[in-house]
Amino acid sequence: MKTIISSALLGGAALTLLSSCNKSTEETDAAMSPNAVLRFSAIPDEDTTAQDARFQPVADYLAKELGIQVEFVASPNYGASVQKFAGGDIQLAWFGGVTGVQARQQVEGAKAIVAGEADLAFKSYFIANTSTGLTRSEEFPIAIKDLKFTYGSQNSTSGCIMPTHFIMESSGQTPQEFFTQEFGFSGSHDKTAELVNAGTFQVGALNFKTYEKGIASGAIDEAKCVVIWETPTYADYNMTAHPILDEQFGEGFIDKLQTALIECDDDAALAALGREKLVAVENSTFDGIASVMEKVDFKK
């Protein structure tokens, strides 16, 4: 009787093990299902109305290289990009330095996987309408304290947080203490350029790429809007991956994704990101940004 019971238990255990294996296989198959979709987004640092068209080439490239479905999900502002990532609505995002830190702080296991080669030595321009009489200088332009100044988005690395860091470092004051007039937030780099170019704001801060692109396209008139100071360099934009990707597409998928991005030579995809080459990064690459974020507070 004892032997019979043992055999029954063994048979039951075998059935349980077989059932467990089948379940595991089914879960793996489900994870690798052709219906699984990688959804990615990007901070709307420029023209917020054309995100879908701008980033579709990135989706097309990743879909082709990885053999999966990829869908771009537009975000109306910087904060929404972080919220979508934290909520799992998107699993991959082209963030700025600040939004990348914010997203990774909210999602345990999230990884910064690539950045543009130039993003490791990014910089901001302080620009001024020529009516101010300000010209380019190697020294921080303290005179802007009495002028009407605009940032980009409050969560922008190159359009707000790092410019604020350099204002504080150069003046020993917070922006609230430094500026004698109320400063503004345009919402994006191209909008900052537009407002300073038009003289709506006398001075502003934005990323150097947007200014140079504006000059090249004619959107910015150098006779009306000039660079008066450029900041020291810092790490900025990055692609951050959600840890759930390895669950959705199988263990090691994030590594495959990183490799596909590093090896990307698709002109349309790189142009969409405004980069010539992508390189590997890790979360610690942006420790400097995280440190600055702790010091900048516009609520005080």
Domains of the chain: 37-118+236-286 (3.40.190.10), 123-230 (3.40.190.10)
Share of the chain above pLDDT 90, in %: 84
**Average pLDDT for the chain:** 89
Encoded amino acid at 258, one letter: Q
Has residue 84 got a pLDDT over 80?
yes
Measured distance CA(246)–CA(223) in Å, rounded: 52
- Separation between Cα atoms, residue 159 and residue 258, nearest integer Å: 27
State how far the Cα of 92 lies from the Cα of 40, in Å rounded to an integer: 4
State the pLDDT at residue 205.
98
Instruction: Quote the pLDDT of residue 33.
Output: 55
Q: Where are the alpha helices (DSSP H) in 124-240?
A: 162-171, 175-178, 189-198, 208-217
Percent of the chain with pLDDT over 70: 88
Report how far residue 41's alpha carbon sits from residue 131's, in angstroms, rounded to the nearest whole number: 39
pLDDT band at 102 (very low <50, low <70, confident <90, very high): very high
Q: Higher-confidence residue: 279 or 12? A: 279
Element (H, E) at 129: strand 124-129
Residue 25 scores a pLDDT above 50: no
The pLDDT value given to residue 29:
41
Confidence band (pLDDT; 50, 70, 90) for 45? confident
d(CA 257, CA 205): 34
d(CA 296, CA 137): 25
Res. 201 pLDDT band, cuts 50 70 90: very high
DSSP string, 232-269: PPB---EEEE-TTHHHHH-TTHHHHHHHHHHT---HHH
For residues 173-198, give the mean pLDDT: 96
In angstroms, rounded to a whole number, what is the distance separating the alpha carbons of residues 185 and 200?
A: 12
- List all residues 6 or more positions away from 119 whose beta carbon is below 8 Å from its beta carbon: 235, 236, 237, 238, 275
Please name the amino acid found at residue 70: V
Residue 5 predicted with pLDDT over 70? no
pLDDT in tens, 223-246: 999 999 999 999 999 999 999 999
Q: Where does the pLDDT of residue 46 fall: very low under 50, low under 70, confident under 90, or very high at 90 and above?
A: confident
Helix, strand, or coil (residue 139): coil
Lowest mean pLDDT among 9-13, 64-68, 110-114: 9-13
**Is pLDDT at 103 greater than 50 in this prediction?**
yes
Beta-sheet strand order (sheet of 92-95):
69-72, 37-42, 92-95, 238-241, 111-116, 278-280
Give the strand pairing for 111-116 and 225-230: unpaired
Residue 20 reports pLDDT greater than 60: no
Residue 22 dihedral angles phi and psi, to the nearest 5°: -65, -40
Query: pLDDT: is 7 or 127 the higher one?
Result: 127
pLDDT at 10 over 80: no
User: When comparing pLDDT for 6 and 103, which is higher?
Assistant: 103
